[in-house]
Amino acid sequence: MDLQPLGDRLIVEALEEEETTTSGIVLPDTAKEKPQRGRVLAVGPGARNDSGEIVPMEVAVGDEIIYSKYGGTDIKLGADEVLILRESDVLAKVTKAKASKKKELAGASA
């Protein structure tokens, strides 16, 4: 990719949601909501604080994130479509737990 975001912006690839409901109903393109989940492709250096120092970003390349429904700007690069967001549009990072605490506690008491 030939884009480098500036300031507190990041470039995100939207991850498509499932196309069928839990009951097996297939959703047409017109009924789908805009995705709110994505993978970070590039990160800017960060915003500047009041004293002019750069504040590093809390997200990194490769992170999976949840972002505001209508935040950012859609950009088409050839066949790829990406989204340019501000860090403030990111609501959360998706973390994957290796083992649940309940399983660890259950194993310790047995």
Query: Which tens digits make up the pLDDT trace of 50-59?
Result: 998 999 999 9
Identify the helix (H) or strand (E) that includes residue 2. Answer: none
Number of domains in the chain: 1
In a domain, residue 96? The reply is: yes
Predicted TM-score of the model (pTM): 0.70
Show the beta-strand stretches assigned E in the chain.
9-14, 37-43, 47-48, 54-55, 64-67, 73-77, 80-86, 90-93
Q: Is residue 84 part of a domain?
A: yes
Query: Whole domain around residue 13: which residue ranges?
Result: 9-109
Residue 1, in any domain of the structure: no
CA 95 to chain centroid, in Å, comes to 11
As a whole number, mean pLDDT of residues 64-87 equals: 89
- Alpha-carbon distance values, 71 to 80, 91, 102 (Å): 19, 11, 36
Give the CATH number of the domain where residue 23 resides.
2.30.33.40
pLDDT for 65:
94
